[in-house]
Amino acid sequence: DAGVIQSPRHEVTEMGQEVTLRCKPISGHNSLFWYRQTMMRGLELLIYFNNNVPIDDSGMPEDRFSAKMPNASFSTLKIQPSEPRDSAVYFCASGLYQGTSVFEQYFGPGTRLTVT
Amino acid sequence: AQKITQTQPGMFVQEKEAVTLDCTYDTSDPSYGLFWYKQPSSGEMIFLIYQGSYDQQNATEGRYSLNFQKARKSANLVISASQLGDSAMYFCAMREGNQGGKLIFGQGTELSVKP
Provide the pLDDT for residue A99.
Answer: 65
- Mean pLDDT across A4-8: 97
CA–CA gap between residue A75 and residue A114 (Å, rounded): 21
pLDDT at A12 over 70: yes
Residues forming beta bridges with residue A35, ordered by sequence position: A45, A91
Provide the pLDDT for residue A104.
Answer: 79
Chain centroid to CA B16: how far?
Answer: 19
Task: Convert the pLDDT of each residue in A15-59 to its tens digit.
Answer: 999 999 999 999 999 899 999 999 988 999 999 998 999 988 989
Q: Out of B46, B97, B105, name the one closest to residue A43 (CB).
A: B105
CA–CA gap between residue B75 and residue B83 (Å, rounded): 22
Q: Mean pLDDT in each 10-residue stretch from start to end of chain B (115 residues)?
A: 88 97 94 94 92 92 96 97 97 81 91 96
pLDDT at A67 over 70: yes
Chain-chain contact of B50 with A93 (C-beta, under 8 angstroms): no
Q: How far is B90 from chain A (nearest CA, A)?
A: 12
- B63 closest CA partner among B53, B73, B77: B77
Query: String of b and e for A72-102 (b: at least 16 CB within 10 Å)?
Result: bbebebebeebeeebbbbbbbbbbebeeebb
Provide the pLDDT for residue B98.
Answer: 62
Confidence of residue A98 (pLDDT cuts 50, 70, 90): confident
CA–CA gap between residue A86 and residue A90 (Å, rounded): 10
Q: Out of A44, A102, A112, name the one closest to residue B101 (CB).
A: A102
Q: Out of A44, A97, A106, name the one closest to residue B47 (CB).
A: A106
Provide the pLDDT for residue A96.
Answer: 85
The residues, any chain, with a CB within 8 Å of residue A99's CB and separated by 6 or more, are none
Provide the pLDDT for residue B35.
Answer: 94
Residue B30 near chain A (CB below 8 Å): no
Chain-chain contact of A107 with B46 (C-beta, under 8 angstroms): yes
Average pLDDT across chain A, whole number: 92
Half-sphere exposure of B98 (CA within 13 A, CB side): 2
CA–CA gap between residue B82 and residue B99 (Å, rounded): 34
Confidence of residue A100 (pLDDT cuts 50, 70, 90): low
More confident residue, A98 or B37: B37
CA dihedral B93, B98, B101, B106 (to 10 degrees): -20
